[in-house]
Amino acid sequence: MTPDPDFAVEPIPAFNDNYLWLLVCGPDAAVVDPGDAGPVLQRLQSRNLRLRAILVTHHHGDHVGGVAALAHATGARVYGPRSESIPAREVALAGGERIDVLGAAFDVLAVPGHTLGHIAYHAPALRVLFSGDTLFAAGCGRLFEGTAAQMTASLAQLAALPADTRVYCAHEYTLSNLRFAMAVEPDNEALRRRQRACAAVRERGDPTVPSTIADELATNPFLRCDAPAVRRAAEARAGVALPTAEAVFAALREWKNVF
């Protein structure tokens, strides 16, 4: 739940491992990255909700596949990155804007790396972040279009948000990400605890997300590139000295790609 009792954020599972996030305030709703319209329409109809806004973080099909159908069926306003091709987009965003969603203020953050135009949505008062495929629970997105420098800067921007910010990422990748994190930092006790807790959550069939920025700072190797143990592991893997956080990140990302 968010700090405001009038708002709730609910997961709508889709495909194999996607979460389409539904933000609900009274009879109104907004949805983030609806790759499939069907389950969203079913949830709206079952709850008698009116879809007012569609927030898109980037152009990949599993995030935009249902946007046009939802916009047509509901009249919801579509927000998305300016530099990417987003179906039915009405409001083009580049980062730095503030938008109103169901009466809550959301800051739009430019977070390139996974794609060049990727954006995230942060509501300071609600203490929620919709991070798309930039920041995952215990991981980060692959660099399909951007550079290691861009992703390092994007993750640093998200890591600087308040520690109690709840991170709603778009995929259930947590256990796989934690296995990699344990290979990087096997002596991290916070990481061990998180791995045990998340395994139990998945045994029950529940989502492991949202996490918090505090969780990620303590256990996500991609946010811990300045930690001595993470740097040593990345250097051992790369076989060379890695003098900067960006170099450590790049080595970790290449390692995770084949893990």
Q: What is the pLDDT of residues 108-127, one digit of tens each?
A: 999 999 999 999 999 999 99
pTM for this one? 0.96
Respond yes or no: is residue 72 known to be catalytic. Answer: no
pLDDT at residue number 1: 59
pLDDT at residue number 135: 98
pLDDT at residue number 77: 98
Q: Which residues of the chain have pLDDT under 70?
A: 1
- Catalytic residue, from 59, 114, 118, 122: name it: 114
- Catalytic residue, from 59, 60, 118, 122: name it: 60
- Yes or no: say if 66 and 40 are a contact pair by the CB < 8 Å rule: yes
- Catalytic residue, from 33, 36, 59, 63: name it: 63
- Catalytic residue, from 58, 59, 118, 122: name it: 58
Respond yes or no: is residue 171 known to be catalytic. Answer: yes
Kindly state the percentage of the chain with pLDDT values over 70.
Answer: 100
Respond yes or no: is residue 114 known to be catalytic. Answer: yes
How far is Cα 91 from Cα 98, in angstroms, rounded to an integer? 12
Q: Which residues lie below 8 Å from residue 119, measured CB to CB, with a gap of 6+?
A: 57, 58, 80, 81, 93, 94, 95, 108, 109, 110, 111, 132
For the chain, report the end-to-end CA distance as a whole number of angstroms.
Answer: 34
Handedness of CA 56, 62, 67, 70 (dihedral sign): negative
- Catalytic residue, from 62, 118, 122, 215: name it: 62
pLDDT at residue number 199: 97
- Yes or no: say if 84 and 115 are a contact pair by the CB < 8 Å rule: yes
- Catalytic residue, from 33, 36, 122, 133: name it: 133
pLDDT at residue number 2: 72
Tokens 């590139």, located at residue: 225
Respond yes or no: is residue 59 known to be catalytic. Answer: no
- Catalytic residue, from 59, 122, 171, 215: name it: 171
